[in-house]
Structure 1
């Protein structure tokens, strides 16, 4: 049974207050006279939990406030994990461009390990040969221009279905957020799994699958207590996090097993088009990954079933919430700025002319639409915090080091 985390957090807070009498938070400043170690500045922290209580429910906003007070590079302690936060363009450029190799790996996050088959995906996999080869597969075979173009029919059909739903609901209250989430998930599902009607047992309208996927994305970003303070691991059981993680993983894993098994059985009926062939086919991501597994043995990469599942979840998670979030914010901003909305409507109507509907060929003639999307992503980035990185060697960032 899932238990509200309030009681566990209250217990932790009381314990922290008791320990506060015996231990005070310290304000870390760069040590003087030591040319080898210069720690970034750090705000005062709580015992055991470090700076976690400071982050709140909107950590990206709190981190912006902390950066304004302590600098664009600061040291936080998230439980037992020391974490350097970079929050300026200069710091990001140095970490992700100038010293990219040093900052190229990923930490072994507990939830990613449990939900993504022990780090067999791309987004959370540690830097190494497997990550390089898996990333090459995604860039060349899954996200290349020809592969993206092959799903044009699916995109246009789902857009038409979304417009039809909106017209049907015209005159009443419309939950546009839900419609946009269903739209983005439908496109990614067709690209990833094909046109097959895959779902969970007893899930007629797909609502159960949507809830499971929402739980999956929520859990993937969660910070279990056993990762922050191992001796408090029992809290995860008490709050129901352990049971929810197991239940969600089993549901997703069962679905992926059925999808892969169905694709393998269909492939026995005939030879598939090679992943790097010249024929414009409509294979989905599972077909492509199964083909790559047969073709790329000379590279040393072995895409076993768990690897295919993990990469599929990367594609699904990375393409659903981000797309629907940007679309939702774009519509909200346009409704709050009616002059800009009318200007965009005029551009769309002038571009499509007598066609009566928007096709992908029309997009090149809509510069204002592209500007609206770019401004929306600037104001409301769908992922304000990047996936954490882990250093592979001793390095520095804007003159700070020793962490």
Structure 2
């Protein structure tokens, strides 16, 4: 296709303008920014990270210093890559960096309300207090030891049945996924096998889709005008479907717990799951309205979902 000289000149001028606009120096009245490698218009440094971003970041830091500014699409990002810089960010000035950027997948899957993704503020502080004191304390983690031991015994039994005499092949990946799902469900939702009606394969797929999507970085987070690519790739539809299924599951579990409590069937401390603990926190806050903090169902679902994943780190 033939391109007129005027159109080519206009295109070059536009690209040059965008390039120099992204590299303009701050005026005297503005704070100086950290050094930044040359980037591309609109996309910034995103295309430069490559398939091994940790190595690329190391090379950039060796050239530009331990603190540098990258522009990931429209998102300015300061990279601290030395122990001294990390201490400044995580200890000396931790309050200035305590908040979290909004992430589309987190908003969809965990309601944007969990401590790991919520912005810093009073709600975040109260959620952190509850998680540290009630959900992830050493006592609470130790209380799941019996469940972990039982799930390990079940997994070993499945290996023996799948490979009698040790002569057959065993799909260890599937067995480990089943084991981790068992730990998640028992720690978060209880020992009564509430997911049996859904079937093991359906539950496994739901958890797998949830974990995969929660770790997915969408293009729209960094380059909003390319957000349609996420929809084209099916991410939006998959996130909506997974979120709806997980939400329905949690709604059913919370309703079941509340019904058992109304019937007087409360679990003793050694068998209380995350939902029981969160409902206990709300009951205590209701009794002491002046000093307690209530969590609505959305906050309970968000906290339980992400804390369930953290249980696996202690398995």
Which TM-score applies when normalising by structure 2?
A: 0.83
More helix per residue:
2
Q: Which residue of 2 aligns with 1:125?
A: 118
Cα distance, 1:62 vs. partner?
Answer: 3.4
Q: Distance in 2 between matches of 1:19 and 1:211?
A: 48
Shift of 1:114: 1.7
2:160 and 2:12 map into 1 onto residues whose CA distance is 57
The structure 1 segments of at least 4 consecutive aligned residues displaced by more than 6 Å after TM superposition are 16-19, 29-32
Q: Is the 8 A contact 2:184 2:309 kept in 1?
A: no
CA distance in 1 between counterparts of 2:175 and 2:14 reads 49
Matching residue of 1:253:
247
Q: Which residue of 2 aligns with 1:165?
A: 158
Report the counterpart of residue 303 of structure 2 in structure 1.
311
Q: How does 1:181-260 map to 2 (within 5 A)?
A: 181-199=177-195, 203-204=198-199, 206-260=200-254
Q: Structure 2 matches for 1:245-394, cutoff 5 A?
A: 245-270=239-264, 272=266, 280-297=269-286, 298=289, 299-320=291-312, 322=313
Cα deviation for residue 267 of structure 1 reads 1.0
- Between 16-25 and 89-98, the greater mean CA deviation after superposition: 16-25
Confirm or deny: 8 A CA contact 1:52 1:77 kept in the other structure.
Answer: yes
Q: Deviations over 1:207-265 (max 9, x none)?
A: 22222222222222323333323233322222212111111101111111111111111
Q: Partner of 1:391 in structure 2?
A: none
Please give the per-residue CA displacement for 1:303-333, whole angstroms capped at 9, x wherever unaligned.
Answer: 111111000111123344x568xxxxxxxxx
Distance in 2, matches of 1:304 and 1:27, equals: 44
Q: Please report how far the alpha carbon of residue 154 of structure 1 lies from its aligned counterpart in structure 2 after TM superposition.
A: 0.6
- Point out where structure 1 has 5 or more consecutive residues left out of the alignment: 1-15, 274-278, 325-403
Greater relative contact order, per chain length (Cα 8 Å cut-off, separation 6+)? 1
Would the alpha carbon gap of residues 271 and 167 (structure 1) be closer, same or farther in structure 2, given more than 3 Å must change?
closer
Assess, with a 3 A threshold, how the Cα gap between structure 1 residues 290 and 30 changes in structure 2: closer, same or farther. Answer: same
Name which of structure 1's ranges 218-227 and 83-92 shifts more when overlaid on structure 2.
218-227
Partner of 1:50: helix, strand, or coil? coil
Unaligned regions of 5+ residues in structure 2, if any?
Answer: 1-10
Q: 2: CA distance between counterparts of 1:17 and 1:199?
A: 60
Query: What RMSD in Å do the two structures reach over aligned CA positions?
Result: 3.0
User: Are the counterparts in 2 of residues 29 and 42 from structure 1 also a CA contact under 8 Å?
Assistant: no
Q: Report the equivalent of 1:85.
A: 79
- Cα distance between partner residues in 1 of 2:266 and 2:157: 35
Match of 1:73 in 2: 67
Distance in 1, matches of 2:249 and 2:183, equals: 17
Q: Distance in 2 between matches of 1:282 and 1:67?
A: 49
Please give the TM-score of this superposition, normalised by the length of structure 1: 0.66
Counting matched residue pairs gives 299
